[in-house]
């Protein structure tokens, strides 16, 4: 039986561990926190997962919370005017619903399931020096911990990483008491674009206390939304969130004026530079480790693809490992496994990096066209589930014009 070590207990690490375990591999999972510590800790992300990523969980039969989690059936876009108005406001319908499960719920539950099924869980914050020994003990070592010292083993890929500094300052609040949007009677992710300032995303979620909503600001660094650094008090964090909503997105503030945090750990802030890294890390002893998900492809959350990409990476790596059989997990295998995943990750990275920049004229035209066309709205919304489709109509002005002409003619 082949022995595999996975360092990191997030979406990708745990999904991959459970998948390998169900296929008869001897898997050890290393986490710096226990399941209980994760469950009572601070929120870790916003994690809105669209249908293709959710399907990977269904395929492994680890979609334990699907029946309890709010079903997100649409994705709406609003653009703020300088006077607090909404010159653009529409919603597209998703072909398959999306869902967001607080990672404190999912990761704690998955870790306990992995252990109950006979997997070994080691609670230890691994350092590079530890991995030297592990690389000699296991057939394959995968690094799925996207922060800290271990990431430094993976060299930045400058050709795929156009940004060297953070492009957004991030601030998340999990809340109860948010009122409905009167424009539609189904649940939707709401994307509020404030030109030159940043974005506010609002999405339904399942947290440790039940259904809730997430308020998520993405602010251009040094701009008016970049005010959360150093804020430690969760209530102060929420107060700032609401003040900014009242100023920049008053239509959202109207339904959020009476919200409360779900719990004391329901806030998160930070920033990081979007980075693609080379997938193979080399240890001081010469041993090799393979980077997983946001260890090697860390995109900004502006397009909501983090947990989706993690699920797709785990599924892709699982397939590569199963297909590899008993052959050595050498550098060639590791690079090939990443290259297979990159076919899915490349469109996400291109789209996400584009959305971080001021929109070109033809993209403004697409967003504006959504006001008069349900087809445009739906295609944009479903791009969050299938980012590869944006290549066909979104990036290139001529393709965008041809698509909009076709829509108008129809």
| CA gap 131, 289 in Å, rounded | 9
Which pLDDT value is given to residue 129? 87
Question: CATH number of the domain at 72-100+165-270, please?
Answer: 3.30.9.40
Q: For residue 35, give the H/E element and its range.
A: helix 35-39
Q: For residue 243, give the H/E element and its range.
A: helix 234-248
Q: Which of helix, strand or coil describes residue 109? A: helix
What pLDDT tens digit does each residue of the chain (410 aa) get?
799 999 999 999 999 999 999 999 999 999 999 999 999 999 999 999 999 999 999 999 999 999 999 999 999 999 999 988 999 999 999 999 999 999 999 999 999 999 999 999 999 988 888 898 888 999 999 999 977 889 999 999 999 999 999 999 999 999 999 999 888 889 999 999 999 999 999 999 999 999 999 999 999 999 999 999 999 999 999 999 999 999 999 999 999 989 999 999 999 999 999 999 999 999 998 999 999 999 999 999 999 999 999 999 999 999 999 999 999 999 999 999 999 999 999 999 999 999 999 999 999 999 999 999 999 999 999 999 999 999 999 999 999 999 999 999 97
Which pLDDT value is given to residue 257? 87
Q: Can you name the residues that pair with 192 across neighbouring β-strands?
A: 78, 200
Question: Where are any strands of DSSP class E within 138-233?
Answer: 140-143, 169-176, 188-194, 198-207, 210-219
35: left (phi over 0), alpha (psi -120 to 50) or beta: alpha
Q: Does domain 3-43+103-161+275-355 have CATH number 3.10.20.30?
A: no
Contacts of 270 (CB under 8 A, 6+ apart): 169, 170
- Domain residue extents for the chain: 3-43+103-161+275-355, 72-100+165-270, 361-409
> In Å, how far from its chain's centre is CA 355?
15
Q: Note whether 3-43+103-161+275-355 and 72-100+165-270 share their fold.
A: no
| CA gap 45, 265 in Å, rounded | 12
């Amino acid at each position: 039986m082949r022995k595999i070590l996975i360092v990191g207990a997030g979406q990708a690490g745990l999904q991959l561990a459970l998948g390998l375990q169900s296929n008869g591999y001897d898997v050890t999972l290393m986490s710096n926190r226990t399941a209980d510590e994760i469950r009572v800790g601070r929120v870790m992300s916003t994690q809105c997962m669209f249908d293709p990523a959710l399907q990977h969980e269904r395929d492994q039969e680890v979609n334990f919370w699907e029946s309890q989690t709010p079903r997100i059936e649409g994705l709406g876009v609003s653009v703020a005017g300088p006077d607090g108005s909404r010159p653009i406001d529409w919603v597209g319908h998703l072909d398959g619903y999306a869902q967001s499960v607080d990672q404190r719920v999912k990761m704690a539950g998955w870790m306990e399931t992995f252990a109950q099924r006979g997997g070994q869980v080691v609670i230890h914050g691994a350092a590079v020096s530890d991995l030297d020994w592990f690389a000699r003990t296991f057939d394959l070592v995968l690094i799925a911990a996207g922060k800290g010292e271990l990431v430094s083993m993976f060299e930045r890929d400058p050709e795929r990483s156009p940004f060297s500094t953070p492009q957004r300052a991030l601030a998340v609040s999990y809340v109860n008491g948010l009122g409905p949007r009167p424009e539609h009677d189904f649940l939707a992710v709401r994307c509020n674009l404030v030109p030159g300032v940043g974005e506010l995303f609002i999405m339904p979620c399942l947290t440790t206390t039940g259904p809730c909503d997430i308020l998520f600001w993405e602010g251009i660094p040094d701009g008016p939304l970049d005010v959360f650094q150093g804020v430690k008090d969760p209530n102060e964090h929420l107060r700032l969130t609401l003040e900014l909503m009242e100023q920049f997105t008053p239509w959202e503030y109207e339904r959020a004026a009476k919200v409360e945090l779900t719990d004391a750990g329901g806030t998160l802030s930070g920033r990081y530079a979007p980075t693609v890294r080379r997938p193979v890390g080399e240890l001081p002893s010469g041993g090799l480790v393979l980077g997983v998900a946001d260890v090697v492809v860390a995109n900004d959350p502006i397009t909501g693809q983090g947990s989706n990409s993690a699920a797709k990476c785990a599924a892709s790596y699982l397939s590569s490992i199963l297909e590899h059989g008993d052959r050595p997990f050498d550098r060639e295998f590791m690079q090939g496994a990443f290259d297979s995943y990159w076919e899915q990750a490349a469109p996400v990275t291109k789209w996400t990096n584009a959305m971080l920049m001021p929109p070109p004229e033809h993209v403004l035209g697409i967003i504006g066209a959504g006001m008069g066309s349900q087809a445009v709205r739906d295609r944009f919304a479903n791009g969050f589930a299938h980012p590869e489709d944006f290549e066909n109509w979104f990036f290139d002005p001529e393709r965008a014009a041809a698509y909009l002409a076709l829509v108008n003619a129809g």
